[in-house]
Structure 1
């Protein structure tokens, strides 16, 4: 299944929900899956290595306050809140600069949420240098 998954795959949130942790670790982009309370439940090896944060340090922690406060703004966190409040689907890709714990890094973020999936996702695609 993961061989066909890419950062831009259609219906990606439901496919990610079906992936085992081992399958998520095979992906070539960062995956952060979190629950309705914004606590991280899924965190793949690619993102762990790129961000320098172990899954043990991240899983169960609030994404927007403890793990990645640089995402706690109107561009990212607020979109998830709005989708949850409206019971609507979210699938937006935005250019972003990560700044926490590292020098600024240009990335593309794909924000995924749906009332039909178990998790909401922030996907991180690092730009080629």
Structure 2
């Protein structure tokens, strides 16, 4: 999935039926796809250029998510998670993606019923 995400256009990312957040290695949001914006109630224009973990999703600023991106050179992990910011607690699956030789890292968010 990392390879596809790293070469996808903004339109391709926006057409996905799940959330995708693309960040630089310092966690600055570079792309916040349309589905994530719709489900989280945040417009991409409001979050692009901001630090994902401190300004956009502080509920992920912990050892399970932000800590892994900071400490691990490479990640491809799926974790069960509960989002709590700006909404009632919502169960999701997060896929954390990072490669040592890449300039971006990703959080993929799949909402669960």
* TM bracket (short chain): over 0.9
1:94 and 2:100 are equivalent in the alignment = no
Structure with greater strand share of residues = 2
Distance 1:72 1:99 in 2: 12
- With the length of structure 1 as denominator, give the TM-score of the two structures: 0.85
Residue 43 (structure 2) pairs with residue 64 (structure 1): no
Please report the RMSD computed on the Cα atoms of aligned residues, expressed in angstroms. 0.8
Alignment TM-score, normalising by the size of structure 2: 0.96
Tell me which residue corresponds to 2:21. Answer: 32
Residue correspondences, number: 113
In structure 2, list runs of 5 or more residues that go unmatched: none
Is this contact kept in 2: 1:13–1:117, CA < 8 A?
no
In 2, Cα distance between the equivalents of 1:74 and 1:108?
Answer: 16
Residue 109 (structure 2) pairs with residue 124 (structure 1): yes
Structure 1 runs (4+) deviating above 3 angstroms are none
